[in-house]
Amino acid sequence: MNIRYEVNVPLDPQAVASLFRVSGIDRPHDDLRRIERMILGADLTVTAWNGSQLVGFARALTDWCYCCYLSDLAVARDYQRNAIGTGLLKLVEDEIGDSVTLVLISAPDAKEFYRRLGLASTDLAFIVRRKR
């Protein structure tokens, strides 16, 4: 499979919403205005493409010097288990560099994926969940 990766390229909210839907990730894919704001508000996006088809997406918020929150990591279901998630995460790590801590909240079904990639889990995280 010839997958191409891009960093911070312009993205069509509809394509991102469709990717969210076909990946199985729980995101507001019916609310295109919110998806557009999620894209515009990101500091870092990494995308995976098969030709012109968006097949993987990572979205992060960072100050580029100390911390980075990886909010979304999604790979289209038909493309999962082909190392695309690994590639996206690796590029996020490369982009933010060694001085930045990467933080994320795993979906229940993705915990093993992050463990396999060597990320450390913690019981020191606290969260105020969004209400809508």
Ligand X SMILES: CC(C)(COP(=O)(O)OP(=O)(O)OC[C@H]1O[C@@H](n2cnc3c(N)ncnc32)[C@H](O)[C@@H]1OP(=O)(O)O)[C@@H](O)C(=O)NCCC(=O)NCCS
110 touches ligand X (CB under 6 A)? yes
116 touches ligand X (CB under 6 A)? yes
129 touches ligand X (CB under 6 A)? no
Number of residues that bind ligand X (CB under 6 A): 20
107 touches ligand X (CB under 6 A)? yes
Among 7-15, 39-47, 92-100, 108-116, the segment contacting ligand X (CB under 6 A): 108-116
17 touches ligand X (CB under 6 A)? no
Task: State how far Cα 89 lies from the chain centre.
Answer: 8
x/- letters, 79..98, toward ligand X (CB under 6 A): -xxxxxxx------------
Are 88 and 46 in contact, with CB atoms under 8 Å apart? yes
C-alpha distances out from residue 66 to 3, 62, 63, 77, 121, Å: 30, 8, 6, 33, 19
Q: Which is nearer to ligand X, 67 or 110 (CB)?
A: 110
Q: How far apart are CA 42 and CA 56, in angstroms?
A: 16
Which residues, other chains included, contact 3 with Cβ-Cβ below 8 Å and sequence gap of 6+? 48, 49, 50, 55, 56, 79, 82, 84, 87
Question: CB of residue 58 vs ligand X: minimum separation in angstroms?
Answer: 9
Question: CB of residue 12 vs ligand X: minimum separation in angstroms?
Answer: 19
C-alpha distances out from residue 57 to 4, 52, 121, 127, 128, Å: 12, 14, 22, 23, 25
Q: Which is nearer to ligand X, 55 or 96 (CB)?
A: 55
The torsion angles phi and psi of 123, rounded to 5 degrees, stand at -105, 20
User: Which residues of the chain form contacts with ligand X (CB under 6 A)?
Assistant: 23-25, 73-75, 80-86, 106-107, 109-110, 112-113, 116
